[in-house]
Every structure is written in C-alpha cells, then in structure tokens.
C-alpha cells in the first residue's frame, strides 16, 4: 500500500521527466490515444478463507487465476483499464463442530481501474492502478449430508502495481499484482483477495 502511494506521488514529477527525456518512453505516444488488449495467467489467494474458528480440517485458499483485459493510454502517463478476472476456487474439507463439512467458493468479477505509468528504463515501465472490482461469488456447502448453494455479488476497492517490457512496436510483456479488499463483504465468506499474473498485451502503440 505504501509503495503504491509513493508511486502515485511520483507521477506528476515523472510527467516532466517523460517530456524532457522522451527516449525512455515507448515510441509513438505523441500520435494520440493508444488502445490495447491482453491476457494473463497466474495465481490467486483469498487470504481469509482459512480463518474460520468453527472449522477444522484442510483448507486450500489458492488457485490458478486467469485475466483478459483491455484499456486506453491517453498519454504517456495516464490511462484506464477494464478486465475480467477469474480468481478460481477455494475449498475446505473437515468438520464444523462434530459435523463433517465441505465448503467451496468460486470467485470472478469485472474490474475497472485508472492506471498511472512511470518510465524506469528504455522499453520498461512501472505502473500503479486504483479502481473497483465488481465481484461474483458462488458458494456450495455440504454439512451433515445436506448440500446448499448460494450466490453473492458486490463491489470492492482494488489496488495494483506492476511493470511491463516492450518487446516490439506492438507487443508487451506484463507482470502485476492486484489486491481486492473485502470481496464477499456482508457474508460469511468475506476475504481480501490477491492476484499475481504474467501476460502479454497487444497495443496500437
């Protein structure tokens, strides 16, 4: 969180540096807004899933995460991005009290963020983002031979940071971390979620 805040504070000063030393920026940005699309894969973790004082047994709060995204760069420093995030499933198997139980949660959602970019070397940029995650959670639970299912949705704040490397005029390699706060809020399955991913994006740059 502190690192992201520090990055945001640096962005106005970096804008001056970008203009004065344009060789560190990806080529072609002065020709107007640039659009991009991409996809990434990684791992997600729903940190509080296993912190249930009434549950005893095994718990897996990590899964494969997949994301597709698109966005616009309005200038070298600022842009906006939307994405579909599939954060996978968490599972618990054990007992609640003395009753055998299993619980599975599947999480996905659409995110919208503003993005700020900071050049760090030729062809390499760091970036930070802030926005919201419009999430959907599906839960299935079996306890004492009875199975139930439920769905919940809501909106949670999102922060993220990462870096990308320009492979050629249009293709970029990206690595990033995103944190979603209180996903599943106002339910028994509220948790923060983290997504770590690596992917490629194609830009009109």
Q: What are phi and psi of 2, to 5 degrees?
A: -65, -40
Q: Using the Cα atoms of residue 154, residue 158, residue 164 and residue 166 in order, give the sign of their dihedral.
A: positive
Looking at the predicted structure, is the pLDDT value of residue 47 above 90? no
- CA 157, distance to chain mean position in Å, is 11
Q: Specify which of 7-16, 94-103, 130-139 reaches the highest per-range mean pLDDT.
A: 130-139
Mean pLDDT over 60-82 rounds to: 95
- CA 64, distance to chain mean position in Å, is 13
Mean pLDDT over 143-151 rounds to: 85
Q: Which domains does the chain have, with CATH numbers?
A: 2-203 (2.40.160.20)
DSSP 112: E
User: The whole model's pTM is what?
Assistant: 0.80
pLDDT band at 112 (very low <50, low <70, confident <90, very high): very high
Q: 92: closest CA among 43, 143, 133, 148?
A: 143
- Residue 26 to residue 122: CA distance in whole angstroms: 8
- Residue 117 to residue 127: CA distance in whole angstroms: 4
Mean pLDDT over 160-186 rounds to: 92
For tokens 């293709």, name the residue. 171
- Residue 80 to residue 14: CA distance in whole angstroms: 18
């Amino acid at each position: 969180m502190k690192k992201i805040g520090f990055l945001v504070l640096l962005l106005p000063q970096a804008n001056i540096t970008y203009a004065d030393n344009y060789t560190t920026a990806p080529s072609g940005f002065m020709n107007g807004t640039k659009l991009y699309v991409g996809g990434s894969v990684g791992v997600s973790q729903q940190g509080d899933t296993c912190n249930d004082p009434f549950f005893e047994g095994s718990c897996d709060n990590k899964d494969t995460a997949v994301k597709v995204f698109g966005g616009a760069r309005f200038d070298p420093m600022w842009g906006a991005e939307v994405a579909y995030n599939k954060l996978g499933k968490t599972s618990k198997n054990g007992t609640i009290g003395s009753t055998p139980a299993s619980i599975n949660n599947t999480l996905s959602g659409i995110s919208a963020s503003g993005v700020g970019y900071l050049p760090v070397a030729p062809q390499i940029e760091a970036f930070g983002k802030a926005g919201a995650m419009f999430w959907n959670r599906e839960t299935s639970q079996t306890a004492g031979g009875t199975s139930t299912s439920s769905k919940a949705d809501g909106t949670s704040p999102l922060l993220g940071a990462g870096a990308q490397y320009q492979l050629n005029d249009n293709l970029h390699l990206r690595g990033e971390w995103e944190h979603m706060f209180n996903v599943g809020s106002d339910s028994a399955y509220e948790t923060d979620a983290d997504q770590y991913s690596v992917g490629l994006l194609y830009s009109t740059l």
